[in-house]
Amino acid sequence: MGAGMYLHSHAQPLTKPLTLNFLHPAPSQVVAIGAATVILKRTGDHMKPLFAFVFLAFLPLAGWAADATQPEQDALIRPAGDSDLSEFLWIKRPIVIFADTEADPRFQQQIEMLRAGAAMLEERDVVVLTDTDPAARAPARQKLRPRGFALVLIDKDGGVKLRKPTPWSVRELTRSIDKMPTREQEIRDRRGLD
């Protein structure tokens, strides 16, 4: 809906333009401010101004309601789902975290540690994929064949560089990444550009 939109009914058209201004103070809040006389389509009656405002304020939210109930997608950590590890070749370094359930304390500890060190991981082009449903037989699980909890680090070249049956700190992970030839080359390239 935007400026110049008209509402009308069978009985009597609305001749005054309806102007709505949408403000987005935060992703989770949407505010609509408008002024108009709204005419009910079936009866031709005027809505009371308060009801018209409420109607107009929440009308645009109908399309956004599904998005508002969904948690924001984490840029660093995401479900592995049907992701094929080959889609990250030469782009990202996947760290795949497996567990038989999200309730596994090792899985929860690992995710907390990764979130705490997100900036260090993003600097190294890491994407974290999680798989806590063995029954789903996702492509990453079929390729890497974990047993219970497992952390698998894959380099940009697609090679598995590290497998751990226990949680690892971001500091340990970044040390391992920094020793990889692809990372060493990235550092040299960046120094050459500076």
Q: Which of the residue ranges 34-38, 108-112, 159-163, 169-173 would you say has the lowest mean pLDDT?
A: 34-38
Angle at 174 between CA 190 and CA 168, to 5 degrees: 170
How much is the average pLDDT of 161-171?
98
Residue 71 exposed, middle or buried by CB count within 10 Å (0-12, 13-18, 19+): exposed
Q: What's the pLDDT at 147? A: 95
Q: Is the pLDDT of residue 192 over 90?
A: no
How much is the average pLDDT of 163-170?
98
Residue ranges per structural domain of the chain: 19-69, 77-193
Closest CA to 95 of 107, 189, 72, 103: 107
Q: What's the pLDDT at 180? A: 97
Cβ atoms of 167 and 151 closer than 8 Å = yes
- Chain segment 20-75, per-residue pLDDT in tens: 444 444 444 444 344 444 444 555 555 555 444 444 444 444 444 434 433 344 68
Q: What's the pLDDT at 76? A: 94
Tokens 């950590």, residue located: 77
Q: What's the pLDDT at 171? A: 98
Q: What's the pLDDT at 121? A: 98
Domain 77-193: assigned CATH number: 3.40.30.10
Residue type, 107: F
Q: Is the pLDDT of residue 88 over 70?
A: yes
Q: What's the pLDDT at 193? A: 73
Q: What's the pLDDT at 62? A: 43
Q: Is the dihedral of CA 132, 147, 177, 114 positive or negative?
A: positive
Q: Give the other-Cβ count within 10 Å of 41's Cβ.
A: 12
> Please, which residues bridge with residue 8 across strands?
13
Q: How confident is the model at residue 17 (pLDDT cuts 50, 70, 90)?
A: low
- Of residues 104 and 10, more confidence is placed in 104
Q: Which of the residue ranges 27-31, 117-121, 140-144 would you say has the lowest mean pLDDT?
A: 27-31
Distances (CA, A) of 98 to 25, 51, 63, 183: 38, 51, 35, 24
Written as one string, the DSSP assignment of 40-92 is -TTT-PBPPHHHHHHHHHHTTHHHHHHHHHSPPPPSSEEE-TT--GGGGTTT-
Q: What's the pLDDT at 46? A: 55
Average pLDDT value over all residues in the chain:
77
Residue type, 76: L
